[in-house]
Structure 1
Amino acid sequence: MITVLHPHEVPKRRPWRRLRRSLVVTMATLTLGTGTAFAAGGGHGHGRQPFLGPLHTVSPVASTVPANGDNNPYGTVVVPQTIGDLHKGNVLVSNFNNSLIQQGTGTTIVQVSPNGQVSQFAQIDPADLPGPCPGGVGLTTALSVLPHGWVVVGSLPTGDGDPAHAQAGCLLVLDSHGTVRTTFSGDGINGPWDMTSVSKGDRAELFVTNVLNGTVAGGGNVVNEGTVLRIDLRLRGDDPPMRKSTTVIGSGFAQKTDPAALVIGPTGVGLGRDGTLYVADTLNSRIAAIPRALTRHSTAGIGKDVSVGGLLNGPLGMAIAPNGNILTVNGGDGNIVETTPRGVQVASRQLDSSGSPPGAGALFGLAVGPDRRSVYFVDNATNFLNVLH
């Protein structure tokens, strides 16, 4: 059965965030029996079928809880090539909480195979780091794999799970065997929250969102100081990547500390084919665009509006679909949303319906599968890696 929802009948947003909303999808929305919602006519303007259209089934892959009990999976990335202890096609997942469910204290990265085999890739000792990481270790959604098997993961540490004790943290650089070889800290890194990367030859660029600029001092009030950094690296084979320069390419994003979520601010980032960086502006239920992200030498502020409100409800993790559209997962309702670069929300599907309100705060990292026809995502309500296929 197909149910037609007119714009004024779009379900009201749950009170997970007291956010600014504005509806940008003014066309009818079709809800299919598979649970996937489509904005009528949205995909045809680009001549593309929505990526989420053929995806109907959510299947659990494996628990992401390692032996030490770390939980709250955040970062998600597919391993591109086999090297060292990394195996092509497996998924790395970083944990944000320790076994006591204290946020900003997780120290483990697990590796999950498509058939559900799980191994611990790394357990990071905050007392045994090769470089500075102010505050210690609390792994975040920021997780990337670079050539030669270098794994970069963000740390926003609290020590005890209290937002008031959050510190700047760093980016930790691990080799293909899970050993931390160097750290990147300072020079704008302040609560690295999410990240994407691109590499070519002996160069790589990290795009990192930061959420602690003024948030702790703000005491839970919204502070418009969130940033996006481009960190240019030189790749050196068996030697750890070297940080060459850091450029603030986005600034002024809304952020705040929160007792339930620790901190809320700009989260997912994804690089489009034309060099535009898309940013999930979580507090404003907005996708922003930073043009010329690979080459710009100054900030684009909060970027250009791509899409605001509508099906977006506190977007967190982000990935770019094979058709070039933007995939985001909502913190407010457990849905995944597909948006075109022109801002049309063409599809949505519920991935998590647990809790009250359903799916609130359950979804963070997501990554397109190697088959380019599926999406891996973590669900921290169940501490599982799942796949939509």
Structure 2
Amino acid sequence: MLKKNLKALIVINILLWGVFCAIPAMAETVKATETEVSLVDGIAVDKQGNIYIAMRDNNIISRVDTQGNMTRFAGSGEAGYSGDGGKATEAKLKMPAGLTFDKKGNLYIADRENHRVRKVDTRGTITTVAGNGTAGFGGDGGKASEAMLKHPSGVVVDDKGNIYISDRSNERVRVVNSRGVISTYAGNGIDGAKGDSGPATKGQLSKPFGLALDKQGNLYIADRKSNRVRMVTAQGILHTVAGDGGFFFSGDNGPAYRASVAGPTGVAVGKDGTLYIADRNNNRIRAVDTQGMIRTVAGTGRQDYNGDSEVARDTNLHLPFGLALDPDGNLLVIDRSHYRIRKVDPRRGSVKTVAGNGKKMFAGDGGPATGATLSFPQGLIVDKNDNLLISDKGHNRIRQISPDGIINTIVGNGIRGNIGDDLPAMEASIYGAAILKMNKQGELYIVSPSGFTSLIRKIDSSNTMRRVLGTSDENYLEAIAKSKYKGRVQTGELAIITNFSDIAFDHKGNMFISDRLNHQVRKVSASGEITTIAGTGESAHYGDGGPASEAAFRDPSALATDKEGNLYIADGANNMIRKIDTKGIVTTIAGNGKHENTGDGGPALEAGIRNMDYLAMSPSGELHIVGINSYMVRKITKDGRIVRVAGTGYQGYFGDGGPATKAMFKSPASIAFDSKGNLYISDMGNNTIRKVDNKGIISTYAGSGTFGWAQDGETVEIYLQYFP
């Protein structure tokens, strides 16, 4: 029996510090559960039970009253810094994060990208209580308003009026006393997890986020990057109360300090002393009782949205971010990537949604495509009627642009997840839809190569969502076993090491699948038989001129076919394009093996190719290549030359109305052609679709470009996850 041989999964969390577009602020009262709540970073509850949420994208604080109505409480909706001394609703905030109340009813806001902490008093007036707006560390012993903070993310106030601030990028917790003087309360500024049982100011913290206090004055810190929850006693001694540092899930019903929590970001303490933890990357809420034992109180670990439930532990959460407790002891949870606020009743064990409709900023259906909002548009395909289909990935939809330029949703209910098989396409949920392809019958195939849960689904002729293949598919795994391991395996044995990268169809109805992690290409015949047609499973480069099944590939990714049935493969880590002809013989047709973009105008075999994320064949039979980090589209001409057709190789947004070769893109991810030979490019980082006409002139075809993307210089945190 084959043993699982993959023990690590790189989990990438991109923290978007850049300024998103200013979203029009809420102008009137709306029903909270019918409203979009996108990327909430902070939550608090007042004495009356009203809920306050920090909406990062909108740069506002919203209030949900006890009747479920939402209004704007602070922030004008425009990103910036202004308004001190005036109405909070007219002030500018910039990516607000943690929230808390003091005993007088004043609300405190960690105004993260302004590097300040703001206060909204009971009259609705806003002021700054800490931070001078300069990102850095300094000012201890002086006025808090003159000190430097760097990305303050959490805040809590004790009964004496001391304000505790998680000064995240300074790896510290700072405190502002009742006289307005700031000092360091925990952390020595070194990123780490050392210092337990010693003075908190000499210990190490690692990206501290949420904060909470108990009745005894102990401060709890969600120390995200160290995968721990730390506690500073009232005497100033640092301890770890939960988490052993491992980035995985383990330890329920045992001592919390021996358990594993993954990227905790929120903490709250109940009246009975129970510590609640937003175990973010485990998609769970954990609780630590007063005896130090840990258990799960909400979340299954799965991320697909499955609705509210009478049993919280049966409810899926996705990256729960922050926590707060209401006066009745209910736990409010930021279910961040489900775009909802959920309420967990610890006594009944039930979960209900109190804010958010599960949808992310979305607009434009029924109108001109150029005015629509797109969010990370990636996959493209053109159907037989010249409709352009777009995988609007961030909106969890497939949208269609008709030849007259009108956009509409045709697949997906906007809810993040991959559920709804055998339902009408508009009722199913989709997630991670990166690639779109069509077979000869005109059925739309959706490839979601999202890490280790790869799926291939299709919309059939009855407009119903069907699952085609998943990583636990028994036939698929058996095909791997026969070709690579010369034997049978149990279903699921290879699930964690199988990943679909792309698919393609030939004129006979065969489907080809690039199995990147196994360095092979599979074929699913029209009758459903799965075989391996290329790759020995070895990560290498050899075999040109012989049978493709005896050749070696290294991370094969994008696929395309031509009218004759030849298959083209982006041999990713070999930086080459390989071709398998109709007799099964493999050759290299482009790339010298170097990871660089060189050789334009010359022989394709002598050119360097950097990134081959998508391949497409033009109507005239020329293979086109696009690379997300190459910022260009190139083609291989029929006489074997390589030519740049769009992009300069530098990222940006530029060039509409001029030659495509002088235009700039940001993360171009996919390309498609219509029947007239017009080229469409998913300019993913600019949230637009660009069009290059037959004369080589570029224009924006869809998308207003008003949804955000991480900018240069922003933080990308990479964690290594170990499976026990």
Among candidates 156, 180, 188, match of residue 126 of structure 2: 180
CA distance in 1, matches of 2:129, 2:239: 32
For residues 360-375 of structure 1, the aligned pairs below 5 Å read 362-372=319-329, 374-375=330-331
State the match for 1:211 in structure 2: 168
Among candidates 292, 295, 306, match of residue 241 of structure 2: 306
2:283 counterpart letter in structure 1? G
State the match for 2:41 in structure 1: 74
1:16 counterpart letter in structure 2? V
State the match for 1:196 in structure 2: 156
Give the CA deviation at 1:128.
2.4
Contact 2:284 2:300 in 1 (8 A): yes
Describe the superposition over 1:211-253 as per-residue Cα deviations: whole angstroms up to 9, x where unpaired.
223xxxxxxxxxxxx101121125xxxxxxxx24434333346
State the match for 2:52 in structure 1: 92
CA gap of 1:251–1:326, structure 2 versus 1, over 3 A, is farther
CA gap of 1:308–1:181, structure 2 versus 1, over 3 A, is closer
Describe the superposition over 1:256-305 as per-residue Cα deviations: whole angstroms up to 9, x where unpaired.
xxxxxxxx821122212322211111112211111126xx5xxx5xx212
Among candidates 30, 33, 36, match of residue 62 of structure 1: 33
CA distance in 2, matches of 1:377, 1:14: 27
Question: Unpaired segments of 5 or more residues in structure 2?
Answer: 1-6, 14-30, 86-91, 132-145, 193-205, 245-258, 306-315, 346-724
Q: Does 1:286 align with 2:234?
A: no
User: Relative contact order (C-alpha < 8 Å, sep 6+): which is higher?
Assistant: 1
Give the CA deviation at 1:63.
5.6
State the match for 2:61 in structure 1: 109
Give the CA deviation at 1:349.
2.2
- Once the two structures are overlaid, the 10-residue window that deviates more, 174-183 or 374-383, is 174-183
2:178 counterpart letter in structure 1? L
Q: Does 1:322 align with 2:279?
A: no
CA distance in 1, matches of 2:8, 2:267: 20
CA gap of 1:265–1:17, structure 2 versus 1, over 3 A, is farther
State the match for 1:118 in structure 2: 70
Could you list the runs of 4 or more consecutive aligned residues of structure 1 that deviate by over 6 angstroms after TM superposition?
A: none
For residues 1-389 of structure 1, the aligned pairs below 5 Å read 15-16=10-11, 62=33, 65=36, 71-80=38-47, 88-98=48-58, 107-124=59-76, 126-130=80-84, 137-157=93-113, 169-185=115-131, 186-187=146-147, 189-199=149-159, 203-213=160-170, 226-233=171-178, 243-252=180-189, 254=191, 265-292=207-234, 296=236, 303-309=238-244, 310-340=259-289, 343-350=292-299, 353-354=302-303, 359=317, 362-372=319-329, 374-389=330-345
CA gap of 1:127–1:304, structure 2 versus 1, over 3 A, is closer
2:342 counterpart letter in structure 1? N
CA distance in 1, matches of 2:304, 2:184: 40
1:171 counterpart letter in structure 2? V
Bigger radius of gyration among the two:
2
Q: How many residues align?
A: 263
Describe the superposition over 1:24-57 as per-residue Cα deviations: whole angstroms up to 9, x where unpaired.
xxxxxxxxxxxxxxxxxxxxxxxxxxxxxxxxxx
2:121 counterpart letter in structure 1? D
CA gap of 1:127–1:195, structure 2 versus 1, over 3 A, is closer
2:243 counterpart letter in structure 1? V
CA distance in 2, matches of 1:206, 1:154: 11
CA distance in 2, matches of 1:111, 1:352: 29
Give the CA deviation at 1:342.
5.1
CA distance in 2, matches of 1:233, 1:385: 33
Give RMSD over aligned pairs: 3.1
CA gap of 1:338–1:73, structure 2 versus 1, over 3 A, is same
1:94 counterpart letter in structure 2? A
Report the structure, 1 or 2, having the larger strand content: 1
CA gap of 1:323–1:147, structure 2 versus 1, over 3 A, is closer
CA gap of 1:328–1:97, structure 2 versus 1, over 3 A, is same
Report the structure, 1 or 2, having the larger helix content: 2
CA distance in 2, matches of 1:91, 1:277: 23
Contact 2:118 2:128 in 1 (8 A): yes
CA gap of 1:335–1:63, structure 2 versus 1, over 3 A, is farther
Please state whether the residue corresponding to 1:324 is helix, strand or coil.
coil
State TM-score, norm by structure 2. Answer: 0.33
CA distance in 2, matches of 1:196, 1:330: 19
Give the CA deviation at 1:333.
2.3
